Amino acid sequence: MAIINDHFLKLQAGYLFPEINRRVNAFIQAHPEAAPRLIRCGIGDVTEPLPQAAIEAMHEAVDDLATHERFHGYGPEQGYFWLREAIAKKAYQVHGIHVEVDEIFVSDGAKCDTGNILDIFGRGNRIAVPDPVYPVYVDTNVMAGNTGEAREDGSYEGLVYLPCTPENNFVPDLPQEHVDLIYLCFPNNPTGAVASRMELLKWVEYARANHAIILYDSAYEAFIQDPDVPRSIFEIPGARDCAIEFRSFSKQGGFTGVRCGYVVIPKELNGHDADGNKVPISRLWSRRTSTKFNGASYIVQRGAAALFTLEGMAQTDVLISHYLGNAALLLNACRQAGMRVWGGENAPYVWAACPDGLDSWGLFDKMLTEANVVITPGSGFGSKGEGFFRISAFNSRENVEEVCRRIHALFAQ
């Protein structure tokens, strides 16, 4: 009798985005006249065309595959050298950050990587996640059997939740107890918060003292404008002993539909086997990659490499500036409407406290039905997200300006 992975049965049915879609569809069915007015600022998906450098490189790559001479079959599972080298040089070394070519593992995206990384860790690790949190961190741990059952509020037994609140500026405090794996994400999804060097140093010191590993998600790194905000965990002294970094071209280059990301695992990083012996994490991840992955598409890797050319970098800057300009407008509109707001400065998300005593879904419904704007209820990201909502800056300027007008009309006194 084929036995299923029972841990899947612990997963909560009401996943955030399906519930949002359900409410939106119900509203549109009841009010079809509102459909053309609807503006979606929910899901964090890019809307603008890709940088021209990536477009041209991908056309060339497709043409290569039409020839005998430049045909590319299976590539290295860990990624082509020319892409790994471009990443090492242009995403790290140029900023003075020590990352080597063979510490980079190219993939089809950070969502896959942050999920798959659990393959190389054993059972019995104590795992800490922020609250609110990107749901993938939690759900993949549920699937892997690293949690107990779900509680009433949607949290899971066995995980250590790190509250992110206005009091700590949405940068979690160190846990009071010992943990082994720590998920951190800056610039943060959903709150848009960034961590300072001092705050990250505190976490690195905690991890080193506890032989813990930080799983550092910097998928939104490209949005960092403030030179004092660290772009990588590896800017922090000691991090090479205790951290894995996840990055993505999804937001940097608008690659959400193209699919490319990467993981950085320093050679110094070790886990421990059951006997307490050190085992290099990069050896495990490399083996996992060779066995369960066949490399990202050649076409896609060519597109990603083009983002690091001079033209590619200039075009990426324009793209990032567009979204950050949107974020600034949304931040300002919410503030003008009297809301308490966070994020939106080095991040594409604005995080706001719900006004008028509304809870997250109450605010969602009001925005949907009265302003015809779809936002994301903060409670969907965890119990500490209750009373907040997220607005995504991934949109056209025209739509964002209209959303700002509607927020003003709805809330400004």
Applying the rule CB under 8 A, the residues between 254 and 283 that interact with its own copies are 254, 256-259, 271-274, 276, 279, 281
Nearer to its own copies, 59 or 197 (CB): 59
Residue 306: is it exposed, middle or buried by C-beta count within 10 angstroms (0-12/13-18/19+)? buried
CB 113 within 8 A of CB 91: no
Per-residue binding string, its own copies, 345-384, x by CB under 8 A, is ----------------------------------------
- Residue 175, interface with its own copies (CB under 8 A)? no
**One residue of 20, 91, 120, 371 binding its own copies per CB under 8 A:** 120
- Three-state secondary structure call for residue 215: strand
- Residue 84, interface with its own copies (CB under 8 A)? no
CB atoms inside a 10 Å sphere around CB 179: 20
- Residue 62, interface with its own copies (CB under 8 A)? yes
- Residue 174, interface with its own copies (CB under 8 A)? no
DSSP H helices in 249-396? 249-252, 281-292, 298-306, 310-336, 360-366
| CA 194/CA 212 separation, integer angstroms | 22
- Residue 284, interface with its own copies (CB under 8 A)? yes
- Residue 59, interface with its own copies (CB under 8 A)? yes
Window 143 to 162, contacts with its own copies (CB under 8 A): 143
Window 195 to 214, contacts with its own copies (CB under 8 A): 210-213
Give residue 390's identity as a one-letter amino acid code. Answer: R
Q: What is the DSSP string of 270-294?
A: EEE-TTS-EEEHHHHHHHHHHHH--
Residue 409: is it exposed, middle or buried by C-beta count within 10 angstroms (0-12/13-18/19+)? exposed
Nearer to its own copies, 280 or 355 (CB): 280
**One residue of 40, 158, 202, 293 binding its own copies per CB under 8 A:** 293
DSSP H helices in 175-248? 197-209
Nearer to its own copies, 298 or 411 (CB): 298
Choose one: 83-91, 138-146, 152-160, 365-373; the region binding its own copies (CB under 8 A). Answer: 138-146
**One residue of 15, 94, 338, 356 binding its own copies per CB under 8 A:** 15
Nearer to its own copies, 180 or 245 (CB): 180
| CA 378/CA 364 separation, integer angstroms | 9
Nearest-approach distance from CB 12 to its own copies, in angstroms: 11
Choose among 354, 401, 311, 411: nearest CA to 166. 354
Nearer to its own copies, 259 or 366 (CB): 259
Residue 380: is it exposed, middle or buried by C-beta count within 10 angstroms (0-12/13-18/19+)? buried
| CA 244/CA 145 separation, integer angstroms | 21
- Residue 136, interface with its own copies (CB under 8 A)? yes
Nearest-approach distance from CB 291 to its own copies, in angstroms: 5
- Residue 288, interface with its own copies (CB under 8 A)? yes
Give residue 325's identity as a one-letter amino acid code. Answer: G
- Residue 49, interface with its own copies (CB under 8 A)? yes
- Residue 30, interface with its own copies (CB under 8 A)? no
Give residue 14's identity as a one-letter amino acid code. Answer: G
- Residue 222, interface with its own copies (CB under 8 A)? no
Choose one: 6-14, 85-93, 156-164, 196-204; the region binding its own copies (CB under 8 A). Answer: 6-14
Residue 36: cis peptide before it, omega within 30 degrees of 0: no
- Residue 32, interface with its own copies (CB under 8 A)? no
- Residue 402, interface with its own copies (CB under 8 A)? no
